[in-house]
Amino acid sequence: MTRKLIAGNWKMNGSLADNEALLRAVLAGLPATPTADVAVCVPAPYLAQVQALCQGTALAWGAQDVSAHERGAYTGEVSAAMLRDFGCRYVIVGHSERRQYHGETDEAVAAKAQRALAAGITPIVCVGETEAQRNAGQTEAVVKRQLAAVIHTVGHCVSEIVVAYEPVWAIGTGRTATPEQAQAVHAVLRAQLRAATPSERRVRILYGGSMNAANAAALLAQPDIDGGLIGGASLKAEDFLRIVAAAA
């Protein structure tokens, strides 16, 4: 069975002082050899701080976005090579907040995933339907279209990605998908990966969207849920650690 991955997504939260307190508390509560992989995806300006605090620990770190371009005249963007410089193991790509507020297309998300892979960083590719799409019976079609763009672009390297199923209606709302609802979509994604690579079992499919200390165990018990992408609950060390413990 694949080792589970619990990844925090701090979003645009934190400060030098808050990050240090949070990381020290997480590191103090993390077993020396956790039974799951654990990571935090932090705002880019704090990568050096997080690298310094987490180096040599069981806590990996990553970023929340990466440029689709390699280098050059792209003011404000951060390249995959820069993330690599700061020891990032992961980068979130195609989070629904970036698709929604920054107009990221499936093709742009795929290009970002490819840049990450080329730099030796694991992209955490987010897919998920809006509430309107779910109500219209389009959930399967939407997530398959989003993942298909990445498979098309990265080819056999798809075995090196992480997928995060994050129903948009569940993000930051306290309305978690039921374990059965999540599992149904994860099974669809797993079948799509199976058709794309013989190594589909290597690909972890995380659930994200109001996952918390209380509901994590039931979600993580589903056969195709290989971990979680945690927003709000990753900002509280105790909650985050309880989710990590549930991933044993």
Q: How many residues bind ligand PGA (CB under 6 A)?
A: 13
- Contact (CB, 8 A) for 246 and 217: yes
**Maximum separation of any 2 CA atoms in the chain, in Å:** 48
Q: Is 232 annotated as a binding residue?
A: yes
104 binds ligand PGA (CB under 6 A): no
Of 62-70, 109-117, 164-172, 190-198, which segment contacts ligand PGA by CB under 6 A? 164-172
Task: Find the residue with minimal CB distance to ligand PGA.
Answer: 231
Quickly count: other Cβ atoms within 10 Å of residue 138's Cβ. Answer: 14
CA distance 135 to 138: 7
Q: Reply yes or no on whether 186 is catalytic.
A: no
Q: Is 94 annotated as a binding residue?
A: no
Q: Which of 69, 95, 131, 186 is catalytic?
A: 95
147 binds ligand PGA (CB under 6 A): no
Contact track, ligand PGA, 190-229, x by CB under 6 A: ------------------xxxx-----------------x
Q: Reply yes or no on whether 69 is catalytic.
A: no
Single residue of 22, 40, 163, 171 touching ligand PGA by CB under 6 A: 171
List the beta bridge partners of residue 126: 164
Q: Is 103 annotated as a binding residue?
A: no
Q: Is 210 annotated as a binding residue?
A: yes
**Helix 179-196 and helix 139-154: axis angle, to 10°?**
30
Structure-token pair, residue 75:
């003011």
Binding site for ligand PGA (CB under 6 A): 9, 166, 171-172, 208-211, 229-233
Q: Would you please indicate which residues are annotated as catalytic (active-site) residues?
A: 95, 166
